[in-house]
Amino acid sequence: MKNFVKLLTAGMMMAAVVAPITAEAQSHSSREIRQRQKTKGEWQKAAYAGGALAILGQFNKDKTLSYIGAGTALYSLYRMQEDTKSQNRARRERAAFYNRSHYTRNGVRYDRKTVHKNGQTYYTFVRHR
């Protein structure tokens, strides 16, 4: 019975770690930034769960649970840090793109236009006439 609990706990931890990996990537836009933030939150939850499992292993004097929990927590923290770096990079790329006054694609010039909608200011690019 004790081995069954260990296997069940380890299986649940692996599911918590693998689930964020299957997240679908988005294009370079605000959707990607939101997706990165969501994924970062999932990794944080997995890190908390791994830490709790490591503490549970320490209380039960079970090295296997402690090692699995600590490994899960450390890996989740690593992935969370990588998502933070990626999220910042996507924001920088988006800011650099919209900082331009125009760009040319396939020989067609597009000019930046400011749009005010519902009290918010947005930028878009429209074809030059």
Residues 24 and 73 in one domain: yes
Please write the tens of the pLDDT for every residue from 100-127: 888 888 989 998 888 888 888 888 888 8
Residues 40 and 58 in one domain: yes
Residues 107 and 88 in one domain: no
Please write the tens of the pLDDT for every residue from 47-96: 999 999 999 999 988 898 899 999 999 999 888 888 777 777 777 777 77
> How many domains, in total, are found in the chain?
2
> Measuring CA to CA, how many Å separate 95 from each of 22, 32, 100, 113, 119?
28, 14, 9, 15, 20
Residues 94 and 108 in one domain: no
Range of the domain at 31: 2-98
Residues 87 and 129 in one domain: no
The rounded mean pLDDT for the chain is: 78
